Structures are given as structure tokens and as C-alpha cells.
Structure 1
């Protein structure tokens, strides 16, 4: 199968294997704290009491899903879902052991009126960390600077997708650009302009009316559309009755859109005050991500459970969670760096991204400082390069 274009038909996918880690949940509409569940205390190096906020609040970029697996693996038993706050709170655990503080994961996207994560971080001072995609880390440097301290994903799962029956000759984004087909994307995305700047698409092809619903694609299979490799290829084939067929796609990273995705980030003006916390917390996030890669089942079960307790969320099934976890691993989107570490940055790679995206942002009106460097907005200061995936 051509690596640059994949058509998924995975009939007979096995059911999610649900590991038993004693995860229990209780629903809460008043934002009450998680139910008390006895836990073994974590080692001193992972004790966050007194060095981190009593409740570490993390603003997510979307509703709970498996590409946030590293964070949800840190959500201990007895977690409570707050449907009013669009959040879930539980003990923050490291390898299942109590770190002495709580963790709150707040949904983004529709839950915050599609505002950016960085804007939420600057509006709500209770937010300690935000999950920010790599291009948005650069864009935020203009007025809401954040510092990315560890990535949940090595590469973005962003794709352009199409109907393989309508376009059997398409294999890559460049093939789409050789046509006059409309490319339906959301207007807040930066990658469409990057693709135009690279000569891979024509400006006239861009249609910025994408709203996340499948109706446009189903009604007009001649278009190309944005999506994520760990979501739409599964949901369109197995959970969209009006389509119920495979889609083909090309990962944007294979065209050179080389961003780290889902970066756990801190407001630039809070880095120093949170340093004692980050020194202990960031390696916990790294290890949690590495552990999720090897054994995602129980964490996926918790994510599906959290989503099921809030009727405003889009349904998230066990099948999609399993598909997503396997794809992120198999495609190397959540994997070791060249040095074997998980959750660290290749700073030369990041600098290349800054250099490439900065002119596009400036051309779009963003006041990105000319002097902006990768070291100002990304750091390995808190990561541990010894943390990696030790087994296949």
C-alpha cells in the first residue's frame, strides 16, 4: 500500500480489550471534587504536593479523545465529570500512584466557543497548562505567548481526505493541487495557506466553510476535505451511515507540514513560577505518554466513559478509540525521537518550522516578532531524555 495514500477497510476489527485498572467514575454537575479512592503514594520525585497547584487544570484543544491519551492516563480512579464545566477531575497519578494533587482536564473546541486554547489561558488564570498545536504556538507569540514544554504527538495527524472512487488517481496533496477541486477547510487553520505558499494547492481551491459535519463531503464527493488520520477514516467508514465507505487521505506531514502537535504549554509569564512544578510534572507526562503507546486500552475506556457522561460531546466509541491509538503508534505520530526519547523536542526541527511559518503568519497580519526563535517558545528544560518506549 502506498504510504502517502491509505484507503482503510478494517472489517473485523477486534473489540477494545478493556484492561482493569480499577478505574471508577462518578458523574457530577456541580463541579464537586473526585470521590476519595485509596491510592498508594507516588515516589518522592513524583510527589507534586506543595510544588504544583492543588488542582492542575489543563485546557484541552478539543473534547476528550485518544490523541490526548498521555494526559488521560494520568487521571486516577474516582474521577468526576462536570457537564456544566465540560471537564473531568480526579487524582493526578503517576503509574497509578497518587502524586498528592488533583488533575482537571477541560474540553476545548465547541466547549469554549471555538476560542483558542491560548486565549483561554490568558482569560482564566486558574489554567496551569494548555494543549496547543505547533503552528498555534508560533502564532500565539504575537500577543498571547506560551512556551511548549512537552509534545503529546511527534507529528500532527492532520490530513486532506477524498473519495477514492471519484479520484482514483490522487495519492498526495500535490495531486489535489493539480486539479481544480475545492478543498474544504476551517478558516482558523494555518496549513491551507502554507500549502498554497509551497505551491501544493491553488488559492482558488480553498473553501473555508468546513464546520466538522460530514454532510458536505457526503453530498459532494468531488471535494477534498480536512480531517485527522486517527478519526475521520474510521468514523466515515463505520459510523457515518450516509457514507459507509472508505476514504483516502494524505498526511500533511508527508507534504512537509512538520509541526509537533498537541504541545503541553505554559503561559510565558508563568514559566518561572511554575518551574518547580514542571520539573516534576513534565517527566510524569512523558512517561504517561510512553505507557499509553504500549497499553492504551484502559485509558481509552476512561476517555469513552468521560465522553458518554456529557450529552453535549460528539459520541466517541470504543472502536474509534482503538483505531486511533493503533494508528498514532503505527504511523509514528506518537513515538520515539531519534535519540529514543518520548516527549522531547528536536530544536533544529522546531526552528525550521518557526522559520517557515513566521512569514506566512506575518503576511496574514500577525505581529510575530522578527527576532522570534524556537528557544523562546519551545523548551527541553523540563524533559527527561531517558524516558522512552522500551518495548515494541
Structure 2
């Protein structure tokens, strides 16, 4: 799903009076970030990468810093530099001998999808993509997932009317309630399978929470369980109460925030990826065990970028970490390895998406198979969550 998830950012940009926390001022130039994460990175991530990987490993995210990318920030060594003009943070990749550059996405790149950025900028080695996006773009912008940080997608449909009590997507569909969402490929699958009714889908969602508040939570809206529930309860003063939700990942097998590579780069970077991907695996395990240093770095980075009001807080990120664990969003793969893919699950996803994508005029590559879009070749089978 396109990440239109910034409650504060879009409220500030639109000048909405929702009683949000103040919209931050932007800063420019390059400056160092004070972080405790660097010490851990230097100690834990020591695989020699000099001469094997690019001197600077560039990772393109699909949004501002957030809990989904905590493990990537975990890899930054001491004294990372924030470039507010370029929306990047960079520094040593642990003690590997090369640097890491993390690029913000979404509004920072004019909402260009990561698959398009792969082709615009050859410096980008890795990017974060939802697997349904990989399938959708497999014909014209092919890429390959190399690591699945999320075992279950954090995508949700949420509502605020306490009289509503949905437990499945089909419950939402039967209700006929308006479902506010962007123009997403998975919707065709949900409608085609009868889970939602086409007539209830409103594709006008732009990330703005004002309509949800104005209608007193009487609509169903797309969002992310690691973000909106906390913001609505704690940051949006005109709401300031819990919401209910159904997790899409309980019924729809898409892998979210897959770490991916442009397809033609897999072979040429095979040696690099074999050493680099396990570092990302280990960083996620370490981040879940102690997220605070990387979270503080992301808060600092975000405070120095012109995000039109998008903000992070210790409470928001800690809540996201808790939900990642308690809801099983981050878990070992079916083979017991952290970050591995289940080929049968991917094949099911291809099958569910193909009819709708074809009808919409964006068919996947002909004869698309799981091995065309995912690989577990570079994953270290010894790394798992305890």
C-alpha cells in the first residue's frame, strides 16, 4: 500500500485545525546526529564489505523515518550525518568498511514509487517495497525481494464508531460502510473475491485524517497498525480515544516492506548481497531486542527534515515496537528463519492479484513465478528471533 500515513504531516500541510502537536520547522544543511546506536553498530556489524559492496550502500525507503525502518537505522555507525536538503542520513555501515546512506521516500521524492527510483538512480542498491507492488510492476520495472522483515503486513482497516464490531474483512464488506483508501492493487483482489463491495470503495484517501474525525469514525479507513491507533488516541486532540481495526495480513498474504533489489542488479551484486543481507537480518533482531537507540536517532533525523509537520515521538515508536511483537507482525518465517519467504504464500498472492491487475491494465509479467520476484539465497539460516 502506498504509504499515505502521516496524520500530523497532512494536517499541517492542509492547515487543518485538529489540535495536533505543533508542526516542526525545517532545517537545512548537513549536520551530525548524536546517537547511541552507532556504538552498537560498530560492535555488532563487522563483516568486511570494502571492495565487495559499493563504497556507499544506498537504501531507499518509501516514507519518512518510522518504526518499519528502525533496523536500517540500527546499522548506522558513529556520528551519522543528516542532509536536510537531500532528505538523507549517512554514516559508517557498522564497522564493515563501507558507508550506509538511508534516503527518505514518499513526500521526500514526490511520491515516486521505489521501483521507479530504482531505474532513475543507479546508485540505489536496496529499497523497501510491498510485495504486491513488486508483482504489479514485474513486467516493466522488475525487482526481487531479498529479505522479508515483516511476516505479517501492518496494513489495517480501522473505524471509530463503537457501534461497529467487525472481526473480518468480509464483515466490513457486508456492512456496506464507506471504505476510504487510496488506489491500491490489492483492492481489486478483495473486491473480486467478494470481501468488499465495489460500491463502498472511496479511492479519495490522501493521508488526511480530517474526514475520519469529521464523520466521528463512522467510515472505515486504511492505515497502519503501527501508526494511526497511537496517533489518534494520543496526538489528535479532537479524537483522543482508541479505534478498532481489522488487520489485512490476517486474511491477505502480502509481504510488506520487503527489502528488494532491481532485478538486473542481483547477479552483479551477488557477493555483496550474500554478506549484506545477513547484516540486515541481524539488525532487525537487535532492533527488536533494544529499539531505543535507533528510535532516538529516527526522532532526531525527522526533527531536522522538512516533513510538513510529520513527527515521531518516543511513545509512538515504542507502541509500534510493541505491536510488531504482540501482533506477530515481525516473526520468523515458516522455516524458522527470520526474514525468509514462503514460496507457496507468494504463489497464492500472485494468483489473487493477477485477475484484478490484468483487468486494470497493469498485468504482471507473463507466467510470473515466485522465484521471479523473491529469493532466500542471501539469507543466513542461522539467524532467527528467539
TM-score category by the smaller chain?
0.7 to 0.9
Matched, 1:259 2:254: yes
**Residue in 2 aligned with 1:351?**
347
**Residue in 2 aligned with 1:124?**
121
Q: Deviations over 1:101-157 (max 9, x none)?
A: 111111111111111111011111111111001101111202000011001211110
C-alpha separation between the residues in 2 aligned to 1:239 and 1:38? 32
Matched, 1:375 2:376: no
C-alpha separation between the residues in 2 aligned to 1:327 and 1:286? 19
* Cα distance, 1:40–1:210 mapped onto 2, change above 3 Å: closer
Q: Secondary structure of the residue that 1:138 maps to in structure 2?
A: helix
* Cα distance, 1:360–1:380 mapped onto 2, change above 3 Å: same
Q: What is the TM-score normalised by the length of structure 1? A: 0.86
C-alpha separation between the residues in 1 aligned to 2:115 and 2:53? 20
Are the equivalent residues in 1 in contact too, given 2:136–2:185 (CA < 8 A)? no
C-alpha separation between the residues in 1 aligned to 2:161 and 2:203? 22
Bigger drift between 307-316 and 373-382 goes to: 307-316
Q: Secondary structure of the residue that 2:93 maps to in structure 1?
A: strand
Count of equivalent residues? 356
**Residue in 1 aligned with 2:227?**
231
* Cα distance, 1:278–1:32 mapped onto 2, change above 3 Å: farther
Q: Secondary structure of the residue that 1:89 maps to in structure 2?
A: strand
Are the equivalent residues in 2 in contact too, given 1:155–1:261 (CA < 8 A)? yes
**Residue in 2 aligned with 1:204?**
199
- Superposition deviation, residue 34 in structure 1: 8.5
Q: Deviations over 1:137-192 (max 9, x none)?
A: 11120200001100121111000000142x333333222211222100012x2222
**Residue in 1 aligned with 2:93?**
92
* Cα distance, 1:44–1:387 mapped onto 2, change above 3 Å: closer
Q: What is the TM-score normalised by the length of structure 2? A: 0.87
Identify the structure with the greater strand proportion. 1
Q: Which has the higher contact order (CA 8 A, sep 6+)?
A: 2
C-alpha separation between the residues in 2 aligned to 1:311 and 1:44? 31
**Residue in 1 aligned with 2:331?**
335
Unaligned runs of at least 5 residues, structure 1: 1-26
Unaligned runs of at least 5 residues, structure 2: 1-25
* Cα distance, 1:39–1:168 mapped onto 2, change above 3 Å: closer
**Residue in 1 aligned with 2:156?**
159
* Cα distance, 1:40–1:155 mapped onto 2, change above 3 Å: closer
Q: How does 1:114-153 map to 2 (within 5 A)?
A: 114-153=111-150
C-alpha separation between the residues in 2 aligned to 1:207 and 1:226? 11
Q: Secondary structure of the residue that 2:78 maps to in structure 1?
A: coil
